[in-house]
Amino acid sequence: MLEELKQRYLNFAEFEARNYSPSYWSFTTAVADDARVLELLATLPRAKQQPNLLLAVVRLLHGVVGSGREFCHVVTRDWDRIQPEILARSTQTNEPARCAVLLPVLAGLAEPIVLIEVGTSAGLCLFPDKYTYDYGRVQLVSGESAAPAFSCEVNKKTPLPSKLPEISWRGGIDIHPLSVMDEQDMEWLRLLVWPEHTERLENLNRAIQVAKKSPAEILEGDLVAGLEALVSRAPGDASTVVFHSAVLAYLPVGEREAFRRIVADLDLTWISNEHPSVFPDIVNQSTVEVTPDRFLLAVDGTPVAMTGPHGQSIDWF
Ligand SMILES: C[S@@+](CC[C@H](N)C(=O)[O-])C[C@H]1O[C@@H](n2cnc3c(N)ncnc32)[C@H](O)[C@@H]1O
């Protein structure tokens, strides 16, 4: 058990934090090496042992501490306050920059588009038509004032759109939706942005302002049980898209498969942007090597690209 937990923190440090957050790399590396902290984490339900959750809760209560050693010291000293916060909260990082990887897929569909996101958090990925993008060889500029601007590195094969998509309806579902109108919810979202990522934080704040102007319709519920009800609320005279990113890893394998069966029975386009471990059979279809530090973008179960986990890159196959 402790060995598995240690490996989980080492994997996070190596594959998720190393190149993106020196502080979180040092904290999670230290946790993996500290038997006392691992023992405390082992008392939590497995879903609550997640590195991102521990990192954000310690930050909520103590700010960004100075070193890995200090991080472990804070966790052991203040566990009585840290544990209930971990149990009450969950990782709901809402990364609007992930919209950058949606656009090449949306560009291939007839417009207008009905956009439905499962595991939507605060719904910030439901506004790909309202943000500004810099893909290097193509720039798409939003008409919104103070829109977030996302840079996304793309390979030559990526089919970039020449304009922003036309979206006629947007809706989402989440087991625990966050509201852009609730300042405490938004503060938690800000804490989930890694400390060094000041540009992401700025863009998050801008995306919140965009979403506040006309919040999307978001249902509270389980994405497997609630998908059909959500789809039935959308107007039928458009290309319907159901998408998800950084969500299905939170579901047991059986639930992921149940979701996939429901999506397959509906007349829509299914976009999955997830860690490669979520659908190993989709990875196996890829003729290009898929690495665990990127997400796999798939359309209707066919792999089309590897993407940066925060929407920062696309390598189209
Ligand atoms: C890491 S966040 C990702 C949010 C968003 N998709 C994005 O890419 O920015 C994962 C979200 O999935 C939601 N979630 C997890 N399990 C769920 C389920 N069974 N049904 C609905 N939502 C779920 C969580 O509440 C959380 O808001």
Return the pLDDT at 15: 87
Q: Which atom of ligand 1 is nearest to the CA of 176?
A: 25
Query: Are residue 102 and residue 248 in the same domain, yes or no?
Result: yes
pTM of the model: 0.94
Q: Is 49 in the pocket of ligand 1 (CB under 6 A)?
A: no
Among the candidates 41, 62, 88, a domain finishes at 88
| Dist. CA 277 → ligand 1 center (Å) | 16
Burial class (CB in 10 A: 0-12, 13-18, 19+), 144: middle
Domains in the chain, number = 2
- Residues 166, 220, single domain; the answer is yes
What pLDDT, on the 0 to 100 scale, is given for residue 113? 98
- Same domain membership, residue 160 and residue 77: no
Q: How far is CA 43 from CA 5, 30, 39, 40, in A?
A: 11, 19, 7, 6
240 shares a domain with 167? yes
Q: Which two tokens stand for residue 195?
A: 């400390």
pLDDT at 20: 87
**176 C-beta closer than 6 A to ligand 1:** yes
Which of 55, 174, 275 for a ligand 1 pocket mutation test, highest count of atoms within 8 Å of Cβ? 174
**Are residues 188 and 287 both part of a single domain?**
yes
φ, ψ dihedrals at 189, nearest 5°: -60, -40
Q: What angle do CA 27, 29, 30 make, to 5 degrees?
A: 65
| 211 and 265, same domain (yes or no) | yes
What is the Cα Rg of the chain in Å?
Answer: 19
- Residues in the chain with pLDDT values less than 50: none
Distance of alpha carbon 317 from alpha carbon 299, whole angstroms: 12
Please work out whether the CB of residue 125 comes within 6 Å of at least one atom of ligand 1: yes
At 212 the pLDDT is: 96
Same-domain status, 53 and 139: no
Quote the pLDDT of residue 160: 96
Res 292: pLDDT? 87
Nearest CA, atom 9, ligand 1: 94
Q: Which residues pair with 173 in a beta bridge?
A: 118, 219
Q: Are residues 78 and 131 in the same domain?
A: no
For residue 298, the model assigns a pLDDT of 98
Residues comprising the chain, all counted: 317
The residue among 53, 88, 123 that closes a domain is: 88
Record the tokens describing residue 125, joined without a space. Answer: 């990925």
For ligand 1, pick from 89, 192, 247, 275 the residue to mutate: most ligand atoms within 8 Å of CB.
Answer: 247
Which of 88, 105, 127 terminates a domain? The answer is 88
Q: Is 222 in the pocket of ligand 1 (CB under 6 A)?
A: yes
Domain that holds residue 232: 96-316
Q: Is the CB of 262 under 6 A from ligand 1?
A: no
The pLDDT, as a whole number, for residue 60 is 97
Tell me the CA–centroid distance for residue 67 and ligand 1, in Å.
30
